[in-house]
Chains A and B, each alone.
Chain A
Amino acid sequence: MIRFVPRERTPVWLTLTVSIGSGLAALLLTAIPLALTGAPVFTAFALMAAGAAGDGFALAETLTRATPLIFTGLAAAVAFRAKLWNIGAEGQLYAGALATVALGAGLIEAPSYVLVPLVLVGAAAAGAALLLVPVLFKTRFGADEVVVTLLMNFIVLLFVQMMLEGPMKDEMALGWPQSAPVLDEATLPKLVEGLRLHAGLVLALVAAVGLHVFINRTVWGFRIRAVGENARAARYAGLPVGKAMALVGILSGGLAGLAGASEVAGLKGYLTSDLSPGFGYAGIVVATLANLSPLGVIPAAIFVAGVFVGADSMSRAIGVSNYLADLVVAFALLSVLVGGLLTRFRIVLVRREAA
């Protein structure tokens, strides 16, 4: 019989070992289906590693891919901390992207030091507003936010398609449903000439540090932690539970909205309905890998981005489907969940007497 005995504190070496062990476990688990297909397992993983971090270009590509994942990872981390199960970062990302195009593609003409902040605030506001709907449904009507946020993803995507085929359609795009490009003044600058890496990464890093300080050091961060850990006791103590939840909704939705702004204004330059290959859902994986710590989101996002970038490169080289990346990420999520038990509990084997 196995018993879980809670740990009072977790040594740092154990946390690190478990994180690395979970990553290895994910690769091992992925190796099984990979080997079953007859693909060269070691070559495939070596190519993935090289594709993710083999040279400067690969690394830059990984960091570019990590940028939206940091935002959506933070969005999930802050929400899950407060036990607000926001599975709708995908939709909030699109809401932010839509706002970016609405504000940045010609509606307003202003110098970049005005337009860039405006676009970012607009995108965050759009994402936040979108999440406030399920938060309101939850607090007012007791409707489970998981289902509502999930279903809203589909509604938002349809809405984006509708806008791209209708009012926001770029007439110059030869019939493709895509938006007009954002103005140069609304574009986030490139970090290194010749690479796709853009200032969105800096914003993402600042957001991670900012969220870390906010959660751990401020009164509102304290209230959010208290409400998340035990909403009944928080209410009993007189903490503003509803406002804390709304604030979490604003932060989480806003961060997801920024992911959309960063992708449109930093990378793509315009909006299509396939802007995100599931960054919103991957954010949940990132946040879980990071154990919901804002600072931990940074390495977790880089890891997940590396897996995707590496798998694309591997797939081009040896023709193994890049859906392998999704498998690695799914296994990583489950491995980290199980590994988390090791950091939170001591696993004690209890001798069972012979019957």
Chain B
Amino acid sequence: MHPDPRPLVLSLTGITKRFGPLTANDHIDLDVRAGEIVALLGENGAGKTTLMSILFGHYIADEGTVFIAGADGQLAPLPGGSAEVALGAGIGMVHQHFALAENLTGFENIVLGTQSLWSLGLRSGTARAKIERLIADSGLAVDLDVPVARLSVGEQQRIEILKALFRDVRVLILDEPTAVLTPQEADGLFATVRKLAAKGLAVIFISHKLHEVLALCERVVVLRGGAKVADRPSAGADRAMLAELMVGRAIPARERPPSTPGAAVLSLRGVSVGAPGQRDRLEQADLDVRAGEIVGIAGVSGNGQGALAALVAGLAAARAGEARLSGVALTGADPAGRVAAQVGRIPEDRHRDGTIGALSVAENYVLETISAPENQRGGVMRRADIRARAAAAIRAYDVRCPGPDAAIRALSGGNMQKVVLARVLEREPKLVLAHQPTRGLDIGATTDVHRRLIAARGRGAAVLLISEDLDELFALSDRIAVVHAGHLSPAMDAAGLDVRTVGLMMAGHSAGEAA
């Protein structure tokens, strides 16, 4: 192998970080050179976020040192624990959840913190000239003078990248940058990243999407269980191999018995949800979800799947059209009515909508059914019975927790989701709404959720799966519909579809154009 002639800009040596008994980072070494695009790959909990948080000054490493090249090109240790110092040393990070003040304009967000707080006015002339030059160089076109709240997600991401470039970063960390983009928007981002790298910027690209990693990055670093398990050129690597490195075992292809759909359980005819001016709304949607099938809804978040989920979950009523559940009209916003009508609802955000953190696992388990006779007598909770049934569910769903009385907020995301699944699926619902059911879960928990959804389909439930993860949609769905700008496409047979077509439809092309 030839030694790489490009200079090192960043070198992590022996980084170790422990949280109590957990070792989040175990003696990790990582070198990054100018102009290099390095992928940092790993499951949730593998230690990617912790490592980058150390690099960016949110955490302090217990052991090890971060070296960063100074203006003279010499590596010097970076003092930890301060985002300000990291920024000053040329490290920029674009978080998965944008760190933008939405009441400020793009311009204001970019210059925020770059001028002395005690100066009497904003010096905007030179700053604006510099930003415009950066936009011209990188192709990150965006309106700088409207409040960020009014920009699309893709535009907000451009502001985030410009924020880092404005500070003359030499290392740019992108944390799951494509999670919120359509495949086509992602391609645009990749073009920008390549352009920037060609000018000498070092890029660390955090992702779990293997095809993106292989397409964009020249080197792949894989973390597993807090340790570095691979550091190799991406040339010659393939998806199966990287997946195995990430998980540490071969991943079995998901087994899915053929579906034998029955009668339509959920049926929408010309249904509109959400006020006309609202961003996440549904216009005149037609959809059937039949017993014994999984229908997937693809789309970039905010295009109407939230409105669809709200309708099915009972949080919103249809503004127009007819929504029926097994022939009975779904009227009004009535979550309790949906529960009674045997709709099982797995919410998008289990912390916000799915669980009540301060209550116990048992109390969360009976949250929807507290007034049922098995849970109360004369208005008094049957606490012993509830606890016993919760304990049974804990065993059946393999929830790792101290017991039914533990506060649910002490559980990991995966175990929390298992409690939600137990609550929803134990009642054998006719219709299952699974809204982003695996977001933030590791592969083990994800596999478990998928298995449970396929099992629900197997016993004859109609499953409506809303996801932004195309891999998940293709792995589970019998049919897939795409939602864009409030318009829902007809559901198409998943077997005859490919990712590219769905991606184009997510960006607003019709099925005919996309095919």
Q: Mark B329-359, 1 if CB is under 8 A from A, else 0.
A: 0000011111100000101000011111111
Are B352's CB and A233's CB within 8 A?
Answer: yes
From A96-104, A194-202, A216-224, A294-302, the one touching the partner chain is A216-224
Are B410's CB and A8's CB within 8 A?
Answer: yes
* Docked complex Cα distance between A352 and B82 (Å): 10
* Docked complex Cα distance between A350 and B62 (Å): 10
Are A223's CB and B370's CB within 8 A?
Answer: yes
**B contact residues around A350 at 8 Å (CB):** 60
Are B381's CB and A219's CB within 8 A?
Answer: yes
Of all chain A residues, the one with the shortest Cβ separation from B80 is A353
Are A218's CB and B379's CB within 8 A?
Answer: yes
Are B370's CB and A233's CB within 8 A?
Answer: no
A1 at the interface (CB under 8 A from B): yes
B363 at the interface (CB under 8 A from A): yes
Are B383's CB and A233's CB within 8 A?
Answer: no
Q: Mark A235-277, 1 if CB is under 8 A from B, else 0.
A: 1111110000000000000000000000000000000000000
B171 at the interface (CB under 8 A from A): no
* Docked complex Cα distance between A348 and B277 (Å): 48
**B contact residues around A229 at 8 Å (CB):** 356-359
Partner of B368, one of A1, A237, A352: A237
Partner of A218, one of B85, B368, B381: B381
B79 at the interface (CB under 8 A from A): yes
Are B335's CB and A226's CB within 8 A?
Answer: no
**B contact residues around A236 at 8 Å (CB):** 313, 315, 335, 345, 347, 353-354
Q: Are A239 and B379 also in contact (CB < 8 A) when A8-B407, A226-B356, A233-B354 are? A: no
B284 at the interface (CB under 8 A from A): no
Q: Mark B401-436, 1 if CB is under 8 A from A, else 0.
A: 010001101100000000000000000000000000
B371 at the interface (CB under 8 A from A): yes
B314 at the interface (CB under 8 A from A): yes
Are A222's CB and B381's CB within 8 A?
Answer: yes
Q: Are A233 and B336 also in contact (CB < 8 A) when A217-B383, A220-B379, A222-B363 are? A: no
B111 at the interface (CB under 8 A from A): no
Are B335's CB and A235's CB within 8 A?
Answer: yes
**A contact residues around B375 at 8 Å (CB):** 219
* Docked complex Cα distance between A228 and B409 (Å): 15
**A contact residues around B70 at 8 Å (CB):** none
Partner of A237, one of B334, B335, B357, B407: B335
B380 at the interface (CB under 8 A from A): yes
**B contact residues around A219 at 8 Å (CB):** 370-371, 375-376, 379-381
Q: Are A8 and B406 also in contact (CB < 8 A) when A1-B81, A218-B379, A237-B368 are? A: yes
B127 at the interface (CB under 8 A from A): no
Of all chain B residues, the one with the shortest Cβ separation from A348 is B20
Are A230's CB and B370's CB within 8 A?
Answer: no
Are B60's CB and A237's CB within 8 A?
Answer: no
* Docked complex Cα distance between A6 and B19 (Å): 13
Of all chain A residues, the one with the shortest Cβ separation from B335 is A238
* Docked complex Cα distance between A352 and B79 (Å): 10
Q: Are A230 and B357 also in contact (CB < 8 A) when A217-B381, A218-B379 are? A: yes
**B contact residues around A53 at 8 Å (CB):** none
A163 at the interface (CB under 8 A from B): no
**B contact residues around A220 at 8 Å (CB):** 379
Partner of A352, one of B81, B313, B334, B338: B81
Q: A313 → chain B, closest Cβ, in Å?
A: 41
**B contact residues around A240 at 8 Å (CB):** 336
Of all chain B residues, the one with the shortest Cβ separation from A354 is B79
B494 at the interface (CB under 8 A from A): no
Of all chain B residues, the one with the shortest Cβ separation from A351 is B60
What would be 11 A-B contacts, judged by CB atoms less than 8 Å apart?
A: A6-B410, A8-B410, A218-B380, A226-B359, A229-B359, A232-B353, A233-B353, A235-B315, A236-B345, A236-B347, A238-B339
Please name 12 further chain A to chain B contacts, defined as beta carbons within 8 Å, in addition to the given A219-B379, A353-B81, sorted by A numbering: A6-B409, A6-B410, A218-B380, A225-B359, A230-B355, A233-B354, A233-B356, A233-B367, A236-B354, A353-B79, A355-B79, A355-B85
Which residues of B are interface residues toward A (Cβ below 8 A)? 20, 60, 79-82, 85, 313-315, 334-339, 345, 347, 352-359, 363, 367-368, 370-371, 375-376, 379-381, 383, 402, 406-407, 409-410
7 smallest A-B Cβ distances: which pairs? Answer: A238-B336, A238-B335, A355-B79, A229-B358, A236-B353, A237-B367, A230-B356
